[in-house]
Amino acid sequence: MTDRQSKIAVVTGAGSGIGRAVAVELLHTGWSVALAGRHTGTLEATAALAPEGPALAVRTDVTRPQDVEGLFAATVHRFGRVDLLFNNAGTFGPGGVPVEELPYDAWRHVVDTNLNGAFLCAQAAYRRMKEQDPRGGRIINNGSLSAHTPRPHSVAYTATKHALTGLTKSLSLDGRTHGIAVGQIDIGNATTDMTARMQTGTLQANGEVAPEPVMDVADVARTVRHMAELPLEANVQFATVLATGMPYIGRG
The residues annotated as belonging to the active site are 157
User: How far from 73 is each of 39, 66, 78, 98, 229, CA to CA, in Å?
Assistant: 19, 10, 9, 41, 23
CA atoms within 13 A on the CB side of 19: 29
Instruction: Please name which of 37, 26, 33 lies closest in space to residue 9, comparing C-alpha atoms.
Output: 33
Chain centre distance of CA 83: 15
Q: Residue 181: count other Cβ atoms within 10 Å of its Cβ.
A: 25
Q: At 132, phi and psi to the nearest 5?
A: -75, 165
